[in-house]
Amino acid sequence: MGKQQAKRPARRERGSISAEEIIDGALALAEAEGLDALSMPRLGRALGIGVTSIYWYFDNKDALIDAITIAAARQLHDLITPPEAGAWQDRVEQLYCRMRDALRSNDLLCDLLYMRGNRLGENALVHLWPEVELNLTKMTAAGFTAEEALRGLVALSLYTRGAVVLERQMRRQGIDPATPTPVPADFPLLSAAAEQQNMRGVTDDAFRAQLRLMIDGLAALSAR
């Protein structure tokens, strides 16, 4: 007897799928197999539709990826938004700790929102603006100018995203971020400090300590 062929999903009728279903399917496929594996034919097979049904809503793969990026921005906003109450320092600390957790636990969010250069368009960014505006409001009330507050938030965001990407690269190379960095005894101050502070800088404790250091520095700036 010959090998049994795997059954393909039943083909859906033309016009029986919505743009939202296509976006959800694209997100699920990209999360399971990686963004590079996403293609119109592969998505069509996964959804049981012809590629023409996808092209009815999306002109090309870039348009589809832009659409799932907007969905990812909404998802990230829901995952990272802390309670509105509280001092700006505590709220900002919660925000970037939650951002780190979200991006570390979902490579696709990181790929779509922060690894695609200038492909992150205004339609996606608009879902993140309310959080920025609220933090600017709290920080200006604490004595910052809007420019100083925004500069601080950008610095904290860059630090958080950089820590996520660095840890991701290290793990792909088989490097445990918690492994101490060996320092020769010729550098006594550095050697002693490295015993207390992980120089790789991306463990949970190191990230939180360094994030708080930056926030405390911003607080000192506003108190001048």
pLDDT in tens, 206-222: 999 999 999 999 999 87
List, in order of start, the domains of the chain with CATH numbers. 84-222 (1.10.357.10)
Q: Write the DSSP symbol of residue 34.
A: -
pLDDT digits (tens, 9 = 90+) for 102-136: 999 999 988 888 876 556 656 667 778 888 999 99
Gap between the Cα atoms of 190 and 14, Å rounded: 66
Q: Note the pTM of the prediction, 2 decimals.
A: 0.82
Phi, psi of 199 (to 5 degrees): -75, -15
pLDDT at res. 120: 61
Which phi and psi angles does 98 have, rounded to 5°?
-70, -40
* pLDDT at residue 83 in the model: 82
